[in-house]
Homo-oligomer: A and B are copies of this chain.
Amino acid sequence: MDLFVSKYINKIDKKGRVSLPSSFRNILPKANRNEIILYKSIKTPSIEGCGVGRLKEIAKRINNLDFFSEDYDDFSTSIFSEIITTNIDKEGRFLIPEELKLYASIKTEAAFFGQGHYFQIWDPKKGQKNTEDSRRRLLKEKKSLRMMLTQQK
């Protein structure tokens, strides 16, 4: 499996270290397995993260926006200038910068949410609520979620 999936809640120790879930580590390419990038989510009070390889993909997405729109500047400023690279130690742990922890209200525990090609880090309670809210929004259009899951080919 080469996608970030499932949810994990890990502890942040006194030194600020937290384990990246093992299944997430395995997705990172062997070449850059000891480095990830982190940035503030645009839409939610959470941190988003992924392997360094995905930077190119993000750049492409932003490039697809209208170059002269305000969104273009806003996205490229908020994402690129705020991206932080962080190293993973031999035990699979890394440090979440203070500023990002503040942004996501993360204190002693970090909830990792798989999002396919990237992942999100939430305060466990906030993350739980976000999951419920987003599920509720989708259920309003029940058909679309069901189709997404069961549609053939």
> How many copies of this protein are present in the complex?
2
CB atoms of B145 and A55 under 8 A apart: no
A47-87 to B contact mask, C-beta < 8 Å, 1/0: 00000100111110111010110110111111111111100
Q: How far is the CB of A45 from chain B (nearest CB, A)?
A: 13
Using A68-B42, A78-B135 as known contacts, say yes or no to A59 and B145 having CB atoms under 8 A apart. Answer: no
Q: Which residues of B lie under 8 Å from residue A118 when comparing CB positions? A: 150
At the interface, yes or no: A3 with Cβ under 8 Å from chain B?
Answer: yes
Is B74 within 8 A of A5, CB to CB?
Answer: no
Are A3's CB and B75's CB within 8 A? no
| Distance between Cα atoms of A12 and B4 in the complex (Å) | 28
CB distance from A114 to the nearest CB of B (A): 5
Between-chain CB contacts (< 8 Å), 29 pairs? A1-B35, A1-B52, A1-B85, A3-B55, A5-B37, A6-B80, A6-B83, A39-B149, A42-B149, A44-B73, A59-B116, A61-B68, A62-B116, A62-B148, A63-B117, A65-B68, A68-B75, A74-B135, A75-B138, A77-B115, A77-B131, A77-B134, A77-B135, A78-B131, A79-B148, A81-B131, A117-B150, A117-B152, A118-B150
